[in-house]
Structure 1
Amino acid sequence: MSNEVGGFSKSDFGSSTRRRLPICFCLDISGSMTGYPIEQLNDGLQSFFASIRDNEETKSSADIAIITFGGSVDIFLPFGKSGQDSSIPRLQATTSLTPIGEGILTALELLNARKEGYKEMGIKYYQPWLVVITDGAPQGPNAVENMEKAIEAVRELEDNDKLVVFNIGVGSSADSPMLQRLSGKREKPISIST
């Protein structure tokens, strides 16, 4: 039997028998997030992880990954390495564009692979959460097309109760209409003022 399940090592699933909640943060680190916005994002992440660490039930249930987008799309923190027992390194804003659609599509692939891994390992799970935090509109090569693909994929999963979406805009310049289209079940995006 292979040591890989859904692209993950079997040890990445841990030994907890609790039902898992896969959560993928899809975070904007583009140039427009420089300064106070990236500090707010980092402070919020640190608070979130501290809350997870402080509660035994959530500590053994929450399964967290972080995707960043700012010029490129990167897996900053893969599933199974969620830092629940350590601190999360602080994110740095880049001086680049905002490939948000590509970031969301990557997050959906990662969440799907994680769900397949749970199934293969016989682990019960809740439907995944996708948390998108951005201050801007899609920018870069194929950014608009990728965003449209991402919106379509997210809405289909959400409409079939296969995904819970938290769309969060940072600052007054956040593209609220685009964020609104991302989730059909929320009246409006969550807003963080800067």
Structure 2
Amino acid sequence: MRRLPVFFVLDCSESMVGENLKNMEDGLQSVIRTLRTDPHALESVYVSIIAFAGIAKTIAPLVEVVSFYSPKLPLGGGTSLGAALDTLMAEIDKSVVRTTSDMKGDWKPIVYLFTDGRPTDNPTPALDRWNAKYASKANLIAVSLGKDADFSILKKLTENVIVFEDTNDGDFKKFVTWISASVVAQSKSVGENRENQGLPVFDESVMQLVKEPIALADEACVTLVGRCHKTRKPYIIKYDREVKPVTTRDFKLNVSSYHLAGCYPLEEEYFAWSDNKAANLKVNTSALMGSPGCPHCGNLTAFAVCGCGKLLCVNGPGAITCPWCETSVSFGPESCDDGGFDVARGRG
């Protein structure tokens, strides 16, 4: 039986922290469970997972669906789409069997690329190489999780660019069902010895096909990384952008601000998955609404800043040792200065 390779290329940048990353892990497991119930998929589908943040790696090599085990997804700073495409092309070269004069190779691979933001590397060289050598040899479906992805880049990769917004209860389940149905439809086609280029019908209340690049919105979130001063363990704070209309007698405009979404514990591997060449990006604390406690030790605030510029947690005024630079730093009573101060932010 000729194989149907299916590659999931998953954005694991820090803007995915929390529920988004969990949903992607759960959704992947649901897709695999569905495929295991379909006889055509069981016979033909082989699955691989490529994760990308500041770097890109294959975290699950191509394996038959019955033997596939969903890996834990990493988290890192940056959205290196170019690196993700390079890794995908290397996996196709390595794993997909080509047709020769002596034998039929694998069926045309299916690629599902999931992202929620803009590339933080330069994807142009990889994109050009994809279009020159690989685009005709694979069916790529790019899925934007929300409307903040760079659609101009995604449209250069494929005509199949889909926007999914998880706005209502049950939307994500419908979306996962659609992904499962699209793989099953392809596997059924190859089981009948024919290629199938079509996609299942969209539920337009949940997703839409992008026909033209959508105007890019402002940054959707702000992420900040700190360490617990007691345990030395890292954490990530996420603020989501909210836009509210402001109307007076003379004008009407939309005002955006960032509101606390949560503070989450990190693994040390976050730093290995992050782009060390990240730009020196800053955000003023006056634009951030809310200050969380430490998810590791429960200290009152995870938003103290050492002289080295890094975030750490404290429980009130006093002297502590910074878990980043190992120097002693003293904190006094909270200032009432409304001007805020600049702090290093992640790339999302």
| Bucket of the pairwise TM-score, normalised by the shorter protein | 0.7 to 0.9
Asked whether the 8 Å contact 1:73–1:99 carries over to 2, the reply is yes
1:4 counterpart residue number: none
Output aligned runs, 1:62-73, within 5 Å.
62-73=45-56
1:191 counterpart residue number: 163
Counterparts of 2:106 and 2:85, CA distance in 1: 21
Choose which of 126, 140, 143 in structure 2 pairs with 1:150.
Answer: 126
RMSD of equivalent CA atoms: 2.4
1:108 counterpart residue number: 89
Asked whether the 8 Å contact 2:35–2:65 carries over to 1, the reply is no
Question: Does residue 39 of structure 1 match 2:22?
Answer: yes
Question: Does 163-172 or 173-182 show the bigger shift?
Answer: 173-182
2:152 counterpart residue number: 177
2:71 counterpart residue number: 89
Show CA shifts across 1:125-148 (max 9, x none): 211122110111111xxx11xx11
1:157 Cα offset (Å): 4.1
Show CA shifts across 1:153-194 (max 9, x none): 2323465x31111101112222222211211x33xx111213
Question: Does residue 167 of structure 1 match 2:142?
Answer: yes
Number of residues of Structure 1 aligned to a counterpart in Structure 2: 166
Give 5+ residue unaligned stretches, structure 1.
Answer: 1-17
Identical pairs, percent: 25
Show CA shifts across 1:41-74 (max 9, x none): 2232112111111112212211111110112212
1:122 Cα offset (Å): 4.7
Q: Taking CA–CA contacts closer than 8 Å with sequence separation of 6 or more, which of the two structures ends up with the larger relative contact order?
A: 1
Counterparts of 2:125 and 2:68, CA distance in 1: 35
Show CA shifts across 1:53-103 (max 9, x none): 1112212211111110112212110112x5634641342433x11111111
Choose which of 13, 33, 42 in structure 2 pairs with 1:50.
Answer: 33
Counterparts of 2:149 and 2:20, CA distance in 1: 11
Whose radius of gyration is greater, 1 or 2? 2
Counterparts of 1:22 and 1:63, CA distance in 2: 5
Larger relative helix fraction = 1
Choose which of 106, 112, 115 in structure 2 pairs with 1:134.
Answer: 115
Letter in 2 for 1:169: S
Asked whether the 8 Å contact 1:131–1:168 carries over to 2, the reply is yes
1:34 Cα offset (Å): 0.9
User: Tell me, what secondary structure is at the counterpart of 1:84?
Assistant: helix
Asked whether the 8 Å contact 2:9–2:52 carries over to 1, the reply is yes
1:12 counterpart residue number: none
User: Tell me, what secondary structure is at the counterpart of 2:51?
Assistant: strand
Give 5+ residue unaligned stretches, structure 2.
Answer: 167-348
Counterparts of 1:63 and 1:117, CA distance in 2: 15
Asked whether the 8 Å contact 1:73–1:102 carries over to 2, the reply is yes
1:111 Cα offset (Å): 1.1
Output aligned runs, 1:113-124, within 5 Å.
113-116=94-97, 122=103, 124=105
Counterparts of 2:43 and 2:141, CA distance in 1: 22
Asked whether the 8 Å contact 1:20–1:123 carries over to 2, the reply is no
